[in-house]
Structure 1
Amino acid sequence: MKIYTVSFLLLFVLISCGRERLPEGVLNEDKMVEVMIDIHLAEGLVSTFPIHYDSSRMLYPMFEKEVFKKHQVPDSVFVKSLEHYMRDARKMDRLYARTIDSLHVIEKGVKNTKDELSQ
């Protein structure tokens, strides 16, 4: 009887240690990073416009809407996903690390292109 109990507990532990399932309406990490990259690019673009801060705050939602449209993600799904990932600091840290790494790669690509054009 003891062997059955131990076997059952071991099976339970193995099953529960499997990949965590995402709740309905939450983006997976890869998709979340893609959207976050474009959101940061949109924020950066708006911040470069020679307009007052109040005007840029009015303009940014239009860019944000285009990001969600591009990725075919409703803003409510993005917000729900962000709330989900923010509950776990390690996951959120990993998402932002991936986002920042991707933004650095994009920045290097743009810089290299500018350097090539100026030569």
Structure 2
Amino acid sequence: MKRLLILSFCILSLSSCDSDNKPDGLLSQDKMVKVLIDIHLTEGLTSAMPVTYDSSKVLYNLLEKDVFLKHAVSDSVFTQSMLYYLRDPAEMEQIYSRVVDSLVVRESSNGIIDQF
């Protein structure tokens, strides 16, 4: 989760202030929520494994590709969508509010891994 937050802030600082230009293939908020949920589950899974940091990073990259395949999204479309939504903090807050709510519900039902 730390990696995604750091990446998000870096992307935000590099992005332009013009939030009206929607990228081609922009993911809807609903799709972003679903992808981000799986991304965060993947991060949690790999960070909890008793392996070295380098090994967990390699594993994370492989699992991240699986997340993109599962949702039929390319990494470039995901990145461009993140850039777009990060330009509007209120919209990104709505997205992450839904992500966190979904993860809390999954955690409370003890089915995080099962649902992933």
TM-score under structure 1 normalisation? 0.72
Mapping of residues 58-73 of structure 1, within 5 Å: 58-73=58-73
- CA-based RMSD of the aligned residues comes to 1.7
Q: CA separation in 1, counterparts of 2:24 and 2:104? A: 32
SS at match of 2:109: helix
Task: Write the deviation string for residues 34-82 of structure 1: whole angstroms up to 9, x where unpaired.
Answer: 0000000000000111011121112110000000000011111100100
Q: 1 or 2, which has the higher helix percentage?
A: 1
The answer to whether 1:108 aligns with 2:99 is: no
Mapping of residues 56-95 of structure 1, within 5 Å: 56-95=56-95
**Per chain length, whose mean CA-contact separation is higher, i.e. which structure has more relative contact order (CA < 8 Å, sep 6+)?**
2
8 Å CA contact 2:23–2:81 kept in 1: the answer is: no
Task: Write the deviation string for residues 4-41 of structure 1: whole angstroms up to 9, x where unpaired.
Answer: xxxxxxxxxxxxxxxx8954211000000000000000
Gaps of 5+ in 2: 1-19, 112-116
Structure 1: which 4+ aligned runs deviate by more than 3 Å?
20-23
Q: Whose Rg is larger?
A: 1
- Equivalent in the alignment of 2:34: 34
Equivalent residues, number: 92
Identity of aligned residues (%): 51
SS at match of 1:110: coil
TM-score under structure 2 normalisation? 0.74
Q: CA separation in 2, counterparts of 1:23 and 1:69? A: 20
